[in-house]
């Protein structure tokens, strides 16, 4: 699980355009401690769960979603990236719809 969450953290951090140092500062940990979270060597992401969700603007469910999907569907690890791409494409569609709705409200 740590490795999957770690990969998710790395994706979210890169997607937000942040460095490991910036995220570490936000969480009040060292850069090396955060790097261990991303590499799956540490469980300490769980201690910072709420802060991580807040920083990356994701719900707790979204943060751990991949792990749940793997357990429920017994997916082959090779298919993880395909599932992630599908999830992110769906999220992009939802965000675009939200943007359009906000633009319409502004008018």
Q: What CATH number did the domain enclosing 42 receive?
A: 1.10.260.40
Structural domain range at position 30:
2-106
CB 9 within 8 A of CB 52: yes
pLDDT of residue 79: 64
pLDDT of residue 14: 92
Those residues of the chain that have pLDDT short of 50 are 68-69, 72-73
CB 95 within 8 A of CB 103: no
pLDDT of residue 80: 67
pLDDT of residue 24: 96
Q: How many domains does the chain have?
A: 1
44 φ/ψ angles, rounded to the nearest 5 degrees = -65, -10
pLDDT of residue 69: 44
Q: Model-level pTM?
A: 0.59
pLDDT tens per residue across span 25-45:
999 999 999 999 999 888 888
pLDDT of residue 105: 87
CA distances from 97 to 44, 85, 93 (A): 35, 18, 6
Spatial distance between the Cα atoms of 107 and 104, rounded to a whole number of angstroms:
5
């Amino acid at each position: 699980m740590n490795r999957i969450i770690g990969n998710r953290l790395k994706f979210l951090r890169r997607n937000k355009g942040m460095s490991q140092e910036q995220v570490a500062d936000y969480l009040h940990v060292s850069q090396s401690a955060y790097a261990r979270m991303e590499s799956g060597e540490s469980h300490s992401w769980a201690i910072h769960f709420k802060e991580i969700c807040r920083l990356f603007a994701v719900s707790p469910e979204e943060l751990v979603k991949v792990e749940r999907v793997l357990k429920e569907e017994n997916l082959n690890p090779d298919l993880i990236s395909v599932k992630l791409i599908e999830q992110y494409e769906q999220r992009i569609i939802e965000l675009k719809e939200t943007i359009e709705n906000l633009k319409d409200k502004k008018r």
